[in-house]
Amino acid sequence: MRPETIQLLGLISLRTLAEYDPSALRRTTDLSRRELDERIDRLLRTLAVQEESEVHEVRSRLNELRAIEAEAETQIEQNFLLRNLGRSSLEYAFRMALTYSRTADVLPSDSRTASERVVAAQEVPSPSRETEFVRLGVMRLLRELPEYEAAFEYPVRGKTIDCFLKPHASDHPVIFVEAKITLRSLRRAREAVAQLRRAAAGWGRKAVTVLLAGSVEEAVQYNWPQMFSGSHLLRYDIERNDFVGEGVQEIVSAVRVAEEG
């Protein structure tokens, strides 16, 4: 795995943003669409001799980007497809960066070029286990709710919520997310739900509250419907990058009901 591959995936995500939300691109980077294309081409040339599966994945995503731009029949269809491609590329880059950050330090000092070491130091994040969990879990949730944008560590009412999901349409509900890798007691569940409800106060039915959890104590799972009605427990398996149980379907249903209300 080379850091240039991770950079390319991030650039592809930015390149999709240039098409479906140019104002968001300007808030994210100073690079123009032309500069993004040039940087992508330049990095691809440095990887031209590589035959790794990750490089094939990058080329496949670039081909998909070009096909969407050329073949989408409407602007709405193009924006939807590009948004999904951008998010999946960013998620893949994030997962690769986590793997790279765990192995880069054990590589011999002379096994990477100077440019690779600079890229690794500047571009590859080393998030905590909790950060990894909430970001990957939310990215997976956005596949089910592509009409939302995520803001992590969101300040609200003097506190910080793990994630705030803001809809593109004003008639959609907002979503507040707190995350716990392990949820082993009703006390911890009660504290997390209380924070979610404080954050959502004032939104009424236009807010959905979600507790994203990995390992959940049986007593919490069993008592959740009675004790925390109105808040959603979403179990996420980070190894499989998928949800456990019917929690995600319940959240999507709650969002649709709130839209209609």
Q: What was the pLDDT predicted at 109?
A: 44
**Pair 229, 209 in one domain:** yes
**Pair 12, 118 in one domain:** yes
Q: Look at residues 103, 126, 149 and tell me which one is the last residue of a structural domain.
A: 126
**Pair 120, 166 in one domain:** no
Residue for token pair 């980007």: 65
User: Average pLDDT in the 73-102 region?
Assistant: 81
- Range scoring the smallest mean pLDDT among 1-15, 72-86, 115-129: 115-129
CA distance 196 to 184: 18
pLDDT at 43 over 80: yes
Q: Look at residues 71, 102, 126 and tell me which one is the last residue of a structural domain.
A: 126
Q: What was the pLDDT predicted at 204?
A: 77
**Pair 68, 185 in one domain:** no
**Pair 120, 144 in one domain:** no
Nearest to 84 by CA among 142, 137, 169: 142
The number of folded domains in the chain is: 2
For residue 233, what pLDDT band results from cuts at 50, 70 and 90? very high
* Structure confidence by residue, pLDDT tens digits, 88-118: 888 888 777 777 666 654 444 444 443 343 3
pTM: 0.57
Question: Per-residue DSSP letters for 105-131?
Answer: GGS-TTSS-HHHHHHHHHH-----HHH
CA distance 175 to 156: 13
Q: What was the pLDDT predicted at 171?
A: 85
List the domain range (segments joined by +) for residue 162.
131-260
Crossing angle of helices 3-20 and 33-46, rounded to 10°: 160
**Pair 180, 206 in one domain:** yes
pLDDT at 122 over 70: no
pLDDT at 37 over 70: yes
Arithmetic mean of pLDDT over the chain: 82
**Pair 179, 240 in one domain:** yes
**Pair 109, 141 in one domain:** no
Q: Look at residues 126, 159, 184 and tell me which one is the last residue of a structural domain.
A: 126
User: Average pLDDT in the 134-163 region?
Assistant: 89
User: Average pLDDT in the 206-210 region?
Assistant: 93
CA 108-112-113 angle, 5° bins: 140
**Pair 11, 102 in one domain:** yes
User: Average pLDDT in the 243-257 region?
Assistant: 90
**Pair 78, 194 in one domain:** no
Q: What was the pLDDT predicted at 121?
A: 36
**Pair 86, 187 in one domain:** no
53 vs 19, residue with greater confidence: 19
* Structure confidence by residue, pLDDT tens digits, 153-170: 889 878 899 999 999 888
